[in-house]
Amino acid sequence: MSRHEILEAKRCLKCKKPQCVEGCPVATNIPEFIQLFQDNQIMEAGKLLFENNPLSVVCSLICPHEKQCEGHCILNRKNQPIHISSIENYISDYYLTVMDYQIPYKKDQMVAIIGAGPAGLTIAMMLALRGYKITIFEANDKIGGVLRYGVPEFRLPKSILDRIKEKLRTLGVIIRPNTLIGPNLTLDDLFTDGYHAVFIGTGVWKPNKLHIKGESLGNVHYGLDYLKNPDVYTLGNNVCVIGAGNAAMDVARTALRHGSRHVSIVYRKGLEHMPANEHDRQYAQADGVKFEFYKLPIELTGSGLKYIQTSAETAEDGSITWTEHSDQQGFIKADSIIVAVSQGPRDNIVANTKDITTNKYGLVITDETGRTTREGVFASGDVVTGANTVVEAVKYSKLTAEAIDEYLRSLKHHEAIDRHRY
């Protein structure tokens, strides 16, 4: 057992009103699982974590803890928060290895889950444990979605996802890889073939464009595409990454690990306005990533990018006005340019089915529990909220799993009434 996690657990004050729990999007009972861990009840601690968050082992590694549980720890006032994520990871990793759920009764209702990302995996786990027959349809060859194809190995070992896959199979979940729902197999086909409910958790996989000249050049790539398989790219020594979110940090750090000597982040605003987590930014700087602030790209070329300077003015009410200075232009040399300015949803499903409403960004519209505008079809995760954290996907998917369960029980009840009537 790791000495670090034991010592950290002993430092926990077990607050009566734990602010760490308030900071956790899924309200993990942190004092309780730490106490169980201290009492040598690691199985009970693991069960508590897993049943509250089936992706606890993942979230313990990649959540922005400094903004959530650890950021709300009362000891953070002295800049010495409990390393909750380390304790959670130790317990969850162990529990994932030894957990052995036996499902006493298998229901006859079938649920189709489209997409094996964070939302789909959460739904699959929760409903499989309740005895439903689950089939996951995954467009790629392996499960994980953004966890596998958008998060670098150095942040999330893919072996964890392989272990989750084995646990899903143990629970009776069928996984159908390399199957894109929409153009060929449609939602109508799923219902025709006997599925009683369908869950859409396809995420956001369409990279956003800059809409400037040069995006089709051979040395220009999109961040999400690059992270899927960085080994197939030859970027050269000098790389510019456009964007300042967490994905941009991952792209920059990955490029350095794959042989590029000089990697810079180009951002149209300043350090204090970066959307990336402070933790990820600091690690990017530690890895050697350079930052070019207040530079707005206006054209991409085969040898680099052209930009104009920007500046910010803060009004008395705190609002910020951004000014673009077209007369102050510059050029940054680069062998390759990677655009990492977020992404949106693809329309494979909604373009080939009826009665599913989307907003102007193409995101699926649902109620607070994940019900779409078509009966029997549910959705959550990034395809509903846009690009967000894994733990937020888990948070809303837990509500959606409850809604699907309620829908299926209601369906069963009405079927029973109809059989009795006739």
Domain boundaries defined on the chain: 3-98, 110-205+345-421, 207-339
Paired strand residues for 199: 113, 378
Tens of pLDDT, residue by residue over 157-203, are 999 999 999 999 999 999 999 999 988 899 999 999 999 999 999 99
Domain 3-98 has CATH 1.10.1060.10: yes
Same fold, 3-98 and 110-205+345-421: no
Q: d(Cα 207, Cα 345) in Å, to the nearest integer?
A: 9
Rounded average pLDDT per 10-residue block, the chain, 422 residues: 82 94 96 96 97 97 94 91 96 95 88 97 97 97 96 96 96 96 92 97 92 97 96 97 96 97 97 91 96 97 97 85 94 98 84 87 94 96 92 96 96 64 54
Looking only at the bridges linking them, the beta strands covering 206-207 and 343-344 are: antiparallel
CATH architecture of 110-205+345-421: 3-Layer(bba) Sandwich (3.50)
Residue 396 has a CB neighbour count (10 Å cut-off) of 23
Question: Count H helices, E strands: the chain?
Answer: 16, 15
Chain segment 83-137, per-residue pLDDT in tens: 999 999 999 999 999 999 888 788 999 999 999 999 999 999 999 999 999 999 9
pLDDT at 1: 45
The per-residue pLDDT for 88 is 97
- Say what the pLDDT of residue 3 is: 67
**Dist CA 117 CA 385 (whole Å):** 14
Could you tell me the CATH superfamily of domain 207-339? FAD/NAD(P)-binding domain (3.50.50.60)
How far apart are the two ends of the chain, measured CA to CA in Å? 62
**What's the token pair of residue 89?**
């990871």
Question: What separation in angstroms does the CA of 379 have from each of 86, 89, 124?
Answer: 31, 28, 13
400: tokens are 């959606």
Q: Is 309 exposed, middle or buried (0-12, 13-18, 19+ CB in 10 A)?
A: middle
What residue type is 347 in one-letter code?
Answer: D
Looking at beta carbons, which pairs linking 6-13 to residues 24 or more positions away fall under 8 Å? 8/82, 8/83, 8/84, 8/86, 8/87, 9/34, 9/37, 9/38, 9/87, 10/38, 11/75, 11/82, 12/82, 13/74, 13/75
Nearest-angstrom CA–CA distance, 382 and 262: 32
In sequence order, what DSSP letters do the residues of 242-305 get, joined into one string? Answer: E--SHHHHHHHHHHHHTT-SEEEEE-SS-GGG--S-HHHHHHHHHHT-EEE-SEEEEEEETTEE
* Alpha carbon distance 35, 117 (integer Å): 31
